[in-house]
Amino acid sequence: MTWVVVGLGNPGDRYAATRHNIGAMVVDLLADQQRERFKKSRFQPVDIAEANLDGTRVLLAKSLTYMNESGPSYASVVIKAKAEAAQVIAVHDEIDLPFGALRVKLGGGTAGHNGLKSLQASLHTSEFLRVRLGVGRPPGRQEVADFVLEPFAKTERDEVDVLVAEGAEAVRMLIADGLVVTQDRCNRSGAPTDAAGA
């Protein structure tokens, strides 16, 4: 069995440290932990690192197209790997969760998240796993699009590191132990302090 872990984000240094790219940060960390390097797919605009997590083949994927157009490249990885939707894990930012929160679930809507919309349309199903990483809502009247494309604040960075590490652990646990166990052990409400409002 092969799992495909999709780290939703936008390509390039301009977006690397932004809230919208926290899913890609998790996939980067997983690759680093396994000492694997990303390589560009020969046929699709996607970088892939192949890892072995506790004896299971896992493809870590980051699209080289912008998030709202990334679904086809991820779907190509899933098809080539002959993976089922239930073996796809999308790791992504979630504005409807408080900063620092983590939730794991199977299926559901997209809540306006363009990366999830594109992935769902390309897989022709919503029944894939999600690791949702809370980035909070924008302060005041700031537009959501502007907020998620900003880097995390300096006061948030330590907690971001914790959240990324916990996101990586949630991915590992989903693969090893399944959804129910992972929800029980990994779901968390948010950062211990209200760093998002700082």
What does DSSP say about strands 46-53 and 39-40: parallel, antiparallel, or unpaired?
antiparallel
Rounded to whole angstroms, the Cα distance separating 92 from 75 reads: 16
Note if 113 is an active site residue: no
CA neighbor of 21 nearest in space, from 36, 6, 35? 6
For tokens 């349309």, the residue is 121
Residue 133 pairs in a beta bridge with: 93, 102
The H-assigned helical ranges of 48-100 are 71-81
What amino acid positions are annotated as catalytic residues? Answer: 20
